[in-house]
């Protein structure tokens, strides 16, 4: 059988990325150009700045991915791109580039859902992993528990009703004056703090419902800071970080384990930027061992946004004949499993 090489393109938020993946799971190149320094001073991603920067970077990043793989466009078997969910202006840059390239070299165009891509990062990391399994997808924009029935077949078992987990990390870090993005900074500070110092709320819904809600904990942190300031007692940032992180992680892991039991699977996975969190990883491993589950998570570079995960997803779409045509458009609020 001939090898299949797919170029993946990812521009849904503030990372411009292009990658070549061989036969679905072997990363040949994965170029990621982060704009994080540009957005830092605004405390979050500024959509218009992101789109403009993608326009500047997209061609050099794609060229570098091809060069590192020592491949010409003509040698590719498909061109894959994230078409949603994400920032519309940012998505459009990747979608336009992918369409132009696919048209020029007459190769299949494969539109990929960004969340599906995050889940697929696990296939790259763990060559033996096959569906079915349950995956917790936690990023800056999403918090879902997904039952992966088969390649490309998903059932959402739980989702956030308000803020995404990553959003909560970013907002709490902002309130503590720590900078952006907050997740990695809280992760680091929490290592020096006491997770039992403050008892922040854990939100669970009625039995059998595995949804999340993180807006309450964000407010609880803000209230705690204000009250401590008013009392003139102050607070230790590291303790707040550790206590906040412990509360969020506890709910994420408990609901994930319940979802696996509900679906009758013993394989569980993490995905998305927050899956890089060290506390989440260790609590997830502990809970998986306690339940005799097989546990999977990608390396940190494959947790945050990257194009290798998009090329990997596209491989499974391509082998099922699920290709897009040149009418492919950016869909900012694209749902998982939606065509
Ligand atoms: O998946 P991603 O790169 O972009 C989206 O699709 O949103 O995720 C970015 C999010 C940010 O909210 C960031 O704070 C969070 O992932 N994040 C972390 C860590 N590393 C990144 N959150 C907690 N702990 C980390 N180590
Ligand atoms: Zn993402």
Each residue's pLDDT tens digit, 205-248? 999 999 999 999 999 999 999 999 999 999 999 999 999 999 99
Residue where the block lists tokens 């990363």? 27
Closest by CA to 145, choosing from 38, 284, 325, is: 284
- In short, whether 239's Cβ falls inside 6 Å of ligand 1 is no
At residue 35 the predicted structure's pLDDT band, cuts being 50, 70 and 90, is confident
Residue 295, φ and ψ in degrees, nearest 5: -115, 140
For 10-146, where are the alpha helices, taking DSSP H only? 36-40, 47-69, 88-105, 114-125
Ligand 1 center to residue 74 CA distance, Å?
35
Residues with CB under 5 A from ligand 2 (ion): 139, 305
The atom of ligand 1 lying closest to the CA of 166 is 12
Indicate if the pLDDT at residue 259 is higher than 90.
Answer: yes
What is the pTM assigned to this prediction? 0.96
Determine which of 8-17, 77-86, 172-181, 185-194 has the lowest per-residue pLDDT on average. 172-181
- DSSP string for 22-52: ETTTEEEEEEEEE-HHHHHTTTS--HHHHHH
Pocket test for ligand 1, best of 12, 178, 273, 283 (most atoms within 8 A of CB): 273
């Amino acid at each position: 059988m001939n090898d299949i090489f797919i170029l993946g393109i990812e521009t849904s938020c503030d990372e411009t990325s292009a990658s070549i993946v061989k036969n679905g799971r072997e990363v040949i190149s994965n170029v990621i150009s982060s704009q994080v320094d540009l957005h830092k001073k605004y405390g979050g991603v500024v959509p218009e700045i992101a789109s403009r920067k993608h326009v500047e970077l997209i061609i050099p990043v794609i060229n570098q991915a091809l060069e590192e793989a020592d491949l010409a466009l003509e040698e590719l078997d498909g061109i894959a791109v994230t078409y949603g969910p994400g920032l519309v202006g940012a998505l459009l840059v990747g979608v336009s580039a992918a369409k132009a390239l696919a048209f020029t070299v007459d190769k299949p165009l494969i539109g990929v859902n960004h969340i599906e891509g995050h889940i697929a990062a696990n296939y790259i990391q763990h060559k033996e992993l096959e569906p079915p399994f349950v995956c917790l997808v936690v990023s800056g924009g999403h918090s879902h528990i997904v039952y992966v029935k088969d390649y490309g077949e998903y059932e959402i078992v739980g989702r956030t009703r308000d803020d995404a987990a990553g959003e909560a990390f970013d907002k709490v870090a902002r309130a503590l004056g720590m900078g952006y993005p907050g997740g990695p900074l809280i992760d680091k500070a929490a290592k020096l703090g006491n997770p039992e110092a403050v008892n922040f709320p854990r939100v669970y819904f009625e039995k059998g419902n595995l949804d999340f809600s993180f807006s309450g904990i964000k407010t609880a942190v803000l209230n705690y800071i204000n009250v401590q300031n008013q009392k003139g007692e102050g607070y230790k940032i590291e303790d707040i970080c550790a206590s906040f992180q412990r509360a969020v992680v506890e709910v994420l892991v408990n609901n994930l384990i319940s979802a696996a039991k509900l679906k009758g699977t013993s394989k569980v996975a993490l995905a998305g930027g927050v899956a890089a969190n060290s506390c989440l990883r260790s609590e997830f491993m502990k809970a998986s061992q306690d339940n005799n589950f097989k546990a999977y998570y990608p390396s940190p570079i494959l947790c945050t946004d990257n194009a290798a995960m998009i090329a990997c997803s596209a491989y499974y779409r391509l082998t099922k004949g699920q290709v897009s045509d040149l009418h492919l458009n950016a869909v900012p609020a694209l749902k998982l499993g939606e065509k």
